[in-house]
Structure 1
Amino acid sequence: MTTAQALGARLRHLRKARQLTLSGLASLSGVAVSTISKIENGTLSPTLDKVLRLAEGLDLTIGQLIGDDDSENMSPNSRFAPSREGDGIVIDTKNYVYRYLCAELTNKRMVPIHARIKASSLKEFGPLERHGGEEFLIVMDGEVVVHSEFYAPVTLGRGESIYLDSTMGHAYVSAGDRDAEVFCICTEPQRLEKDDETEPSQPA
């Protein structure tokens, strides 16, 4: 089974476990019914934007959506998860090849990603992506042009980095004659804790 097929089967299982229809998950996540259907059937590899939106729609972290259930109850204070070369969950999309590292940790506050950037122009990339949280990216090899919704494009060389608000439309494209290699850390969208959902007590 390919990674896309495995992720699709997991997404279908999680959706049905919550008794959600395709249209129900589409309403909660903002991802089109046709896109969800293709992902579940293993014919479409979802971008990070789509993965995060689907996780949020299912009220899960990205680790819980793509990771391993066995570590669900691991205490956050006992985290120690080395990642070796070749480890991780690989998702190959039109613009990026993502390698999600330490995917077995399901309740992470950060999402570490080793990626190869395939798109070489904004026209080739398509619409800007946006999702909850923030992200930090450092270029490991090649050159990257960072396009964003509100700022002029910025070119980054090897060893250079950028920190940005992921809710702002953004895209990374390779500027050189080969695919750029980057490392990115994304934070999960902020979620309200149960205690935060209650109305604060009023002074007497």
Structure 2
Amino acid sequence: MPATVSIMKTTAPNAENRTVSNPGATIRSLRRSADMTLAQLSAKTGLAASTLSKLEAGHISLSFDKLAAISRGLGVDMTELLGTPAQAHVRPPMPISSGRRVMSRAGEGQLVETRSYSQVYLATELLHKKMTPMVVEVHARTMDEFLAEFGDFIRHPGEEFVYIIEGEVEFCTDLYAPMRLRTGDSLYFDSEMGHAYLKASDAPCRIVAAAAPRGNEDPMIETFVTASKRRGATPEDRTSATKPRRSSRAK
């Protein structure tokens, strides 16, 4: 019987156990470790050097597709960007077999917040996942709010699944009229289509979501948005979402 890799966290089921991620600081640490300048990372990601600088400093929100592009530009798994700068340089060995598992207790996970979303990433201990689950609370009520923060719809290669666990959500895209999703509804869609989730009820709106790359795309921790908690972006910094490039690294 092949060996399995089991990774578990055993802290108490309390929301206070969640780790709050600061992707900007980790991006800076990984870039410097790779001896890469902002200009060089800009060339690899298509993001302006000034935008990358502000993202690293936590002065503007980091949308999901920008995070995906940066992970490719740095040649790291996206999960590494969600850890602390110190954790980013500690890479666990790859499992010796295909059997592995990870359990998250209630209240655990890595929390990343923006004005539009509060997101708890689950199973972040595992690198090179084929899909990544998240629990997301939706805050933005209008597209104006969403676009003021991110500048455009979110889009990334692959497919995405969402299940509404509480409240009502308006699913907006750049191809179809808005769709109202209620508790118990689910949706599976092509995530290359520009999309956004909006709060559509007074009660809290929470969803479980997972996204996966299509075909041979690199594994990504993709879903909706990830962001720094900082605010204050100017209009010119709210660059349109950049489609991540296919990685040339060997699988």
What TM bracket, shorter-length normalisation? 0.7 to 0.9
Question: Aligned residue pairs: how many?
Answer: 194
1:153 CA displacement: 1.3
1:87 CA displacement: 1.3
Contact 2:168 2:200 in 1 (8 A): yes
1:81 CA displacement: 0.4
Question: Does 1:80 pair with 2:101?
Answer: yes
Q: Whole-Å Cα distance in 1 between the matches of residues 212 and 75 of structure 2?
A: 15
Contact 1:4 1:45 in 2 (8 A): no
**Partner residue in 2 for 1:152:** 177
Q: How does 1:32-71 map to 2 (within 5 A)?
A: 32-67=48-83, 69-71=90-92
Q: Whole-Å Cα distance in 1 between the matches of residues 38 and 54 of structure 2?
A: 11
- Name the % identity: 34
Q: Deviations over 1:131-182 (max 9, x none)?
A: 2222111111011111111122111100111111222111010111134101
Report the 3-state secondary structure (helix = DSSP H, G, I; strand = E; otherwise coil) of the residue aligned with 1:79.
Answer: strand
Structure 2 unaligned regions, length at least 5: 1-18, 219-246
Q: Whole-Å Cα distance in 2 between the matches of residues 101 and 46 of structure 1?
A: 19
Contact 1:45 1:92 in 2 (8 A): no
Question: Does 1:102 pair with 2:105?
Answer: no
Contact 2:21 2:110 in 1 (8 A): no
Instruction: Rate the CA distance shift 1:128–1:158 in 2: closer, same or farther, 3 A.
Output: same
1:12 CA displacement: 1.3
Question: Does 1:91 pair with 2:116?
Answer: no
Q: Whole-Å Cα distance in 1 between the matches of residues 42 and 20 of structure 2?
A: 22
The residue type equivalent to 1:153 in the other structure is P
**Partner residue in 2 for 1:26:** 42
Contact 2:21 2:82 in 1 (8 A): no
Contact 1:145 1:154 in 2 (8 A): yes
Q: Deviations over 1:41-79 (max 9, x none)?
A: 234452322222211222333223324544352346131
Contact 1:64 1:72 in 2 (8 A): no
Contact 2:159 2:211 in 1 (8 A): yes
Q: Whole-Å Cα distance in 1 between the matches of residues 118 and 96 of structure 2?
A: 30
Q: Deviations over 1:57-106 (max 9, x none)?
A: 22333223324544352346131100112211111012111111111111
TM-score (norm. length: structure 1): 0.83
Q: Whole-Å Cα distance in 2 between the matches of residues 10 and 26 of structure 1?
A: 16
The residue type equivalent to 2:168 in the other structure is E
1:193 CA displacement: 7.4
Q: Whole-Å Cα distance in 2 between the matches of residues 179 and 48 of structure 1?
A: 22
Contact 1:53 1:131 in 2 (8 A): no
Instruction: Rate the CA distance shift 1:133–1:19 in 2: closer, same or farther, 3 A.
Output: farther
The residue type equivalent to 2:200 in the other structure is A
The residue type equivalent to 1:175 in the other structure is A
Q: Structure 1 stretch 143-152 or stretch 32-41: which is displaced more?
A: 32-41
Q: Whole-Å Cα distance in 1 between the matches of residues 162 and 186 of structure 2?
A: 5
Q: How does 1:108-187 map to 2 (within 5 A)?
A: 108-126=129-147, 127-187=152-212
Query: Per residue, is there more helix in 1 or in 2?
Result: 1
1:195 CA displacement: 7.1
Q: Whole-Å Cα distance in 2 between the matches of residues 56 and 139 of structure 1?
A: 30
Report the 3-state secondary structure (helix = DSSP H, G, I; strand = E; otherwise coil) of the residue aligned with 2:101.
Answer: coil
Contact 1:109 1:188 in 2 (8 A): yes
Report the 3-state secondary structure (helix = DSSP H, G, I; strand = E; otherwise coil) of the residue aligned with 2:43.
Answer: helix
Instruction: Rate the CA distance shift 1:166–1:27 in 2: closer, same or farther, 3 A.
Output: farther
Instruction: Rate the CA distance shift 1:106–1:16 in 2: closer, same or farther, 3 A.
Output: same
